Structure 1
């Protein structure tokens, strides 16, 4: 359990560091979250288009996986040994990545956590997008009509999530930075008001 916790912490730190490189403002937002609790009643920045895409993606993925397995079985004997291994490996990797990235996408978008949402975006851009495009455009894999149709829809999901996810992260980072600065402003106001009351009390006691 301790090893798993350490691995999860290290992975989170790595994603956070990479997020700070891609989205520099996220460092200020993260520091603000560490030092100040967010004020209640503030504006939510959960991205609705991204959430809708994730919602439909969750239901579409099992259909895509089943159709991919069926088409692989149908053309298995016609494939070379190399492409049999490649396609099976691609499907296994895509399945694992899809489960992880959809979870991170839901968690990051609904709870407004930048590292989780950035992890979702990076997995989508660096792993899922290249793999689905490989299955869609590599004619050496003997693409069947059903397979092509399912991969086109899957690629549209992934492309949309890459594009809208980038803007969702930017908006979320900027919003959290703004809330951090607003919290600092309110803290300064509270300090000023407290000092003013103390000054009045001291003046009254002196009088």
Structure 2
């Protein structure tokens, strides 16, 4: 049974189009050799990505607990604008991480390109900058435990971005190959029926 996806249809179409334009190298007849399309494998889901998503989902509650405790300890020592920035970064990271992991699970296991593209964009555009801010800004008064838990989450994030990029490239190419093969078979079937009808006349 397919899992429900929270992405609206217009956003799913946009992410699918973005992935196709990024990873599919379209060739015309003028460009030389025609592209060859290998047969699609039985499954396109990435096992390394799924393993990292699983361990990340197990680790994330521990990260939330540790970061919440450290934030409570140092909150009164921060300047007022950094109090706002650190709390906002923690809340955005926590809220976006649940959506990001869900999109990663659905996109990888069900081989859905828009969800996997959404996972990749959330990882790269939201989670990565916020995590780097918490790790590199000297005014946030990093505690040793914070440095450790942020570093481990950053390692998960970078590995997932690389694995999701490779999985998305494989999925888009294979799905495009299947689409072109279906078009070719339909065209060949229509041509064969036309010849048969012509021979009967």
TM (norm. structure 2) is 0.80
Question: CA deviation digits over 1:112-139, x for unaligned, max 9?
Answer: 1111110110010011001111111112
Q: Distance in 2 between matches of 1:42 and 1:165?
A: 18
- Partner residue in 2 for 1:150: 149
Instruction: Tell me if the contact between 1:25 and 1:173 (Cα under 8 Å) persists in the aligned partners.
Output: no
Q: Could you tell me whether the CA contact under 8 Å between 2:24 and 2:172 is conserved in 1?
A: no
Distance, in Å, in 2 between the alignment partners of 1:66 and 1:131 is: 18
| Aligned match of 1:122 | 121
> Which residue of the partner structure matches residue 84 of structure 2?
85
Query: Paired residue for 1:94?
Result: 93
Match of 1:180 in 2: 179
In structure 2, the partner of 1:108 is: 107
What residue in structure 2 maps to residue 135 of structure 1?
A: 134
Unaligned 5+ segments in structure 1 are: 1-6, 27-40
Q: Describe the superposition over 1:53-106 as per-residue Cα deviations: whole angstroms up to 9, x where unpaired.
A: 111111111110110000011111211111111111001111111111111111
Distance 1:13 1:186, change over 3 A: closer
* Cα distance in 2 between the residues matched to 1:99 and 1:158: 13
Number of equivalent positions: 182
Aligned match of 1:4: none
TM-score (norm 1): 0.78
Residue 57 of structure 1 aligns to a residue whose secondary structure is helix
Equivalent residue, structure 2, for 1:15: 15
Distance 2:45 2:94 in 1: 26
RMSD: 2.5
SS at match of 2:8: helix
Equivalent position of 1:54 in the other structure: 53
Task: Report the CA distance between 1:43 and its aligned residue.
Answer: 2.1
Tell me the CA shift for residue 21 of structure 1: 4.6
Describe the SS at the equivalent of 1:44.
coil
